Amino acid sequence: MKKWMACVAAVSLALVGCGGDSTCDDLAEGNDAAVDQAAACRNVIDESYFEKFSDDDVDQCKDALEDCSDSDKDAIKEVADCLKDLPKCSASDSEPFEAAHSACYTALVTKVSRACAASISSSSLKVPANYSIAR
């Protein structure tokens, strides 16, 4: 499940930034904020929570967004904002962090178009099947 969320994060990154759009940068910032919030749980939760985005990831994100509309990108920006607001993870109880992290992506299922989801799925950034089922 946690690796799946990391895939979703990568895919979300892929969804969001064409041309001068800053969506991919926003998502990278959101992901990096989530990594920082997860720091206390390094030995408790899946290692995928600690993967920061590289410049290459941002470039892949921008390439994958060719078939994404402005509303698709807005949905991804909402994910980025959600990730920036995650609670700090506690090694004694990681569930609140993990649940909040998962919730950031839940709405994405109904907000991203099929064309955008297909573009992401065909990119080098893979999306879990559940997130490919777009509106």
pLDDT digits (tens, 9 = 90+) for 1-52: 444 444 444 444 444 333 446 888 998 999 999 999 999 998 888 777 788 8
pLDDT more than 90, % of the chain: 35
Q: What residue spans of the chain are helical by DSSP H?
A: 2-15, 23-37, 55-64, 70-84, 95-106, 108-111, 114-121, 129-132
Q: What is the pTM for the complete model shown?
A: 0.73
Mean pLDDT of 68-94: 93
Residue closest to 57 by CA, chosen among 83, 36, 31? 31
Q: CB atoms < 10 A from the CB of 88, how many?
A: 12
Asked if pLDDT for residue 119 goes beyond 50, the answer is: yes
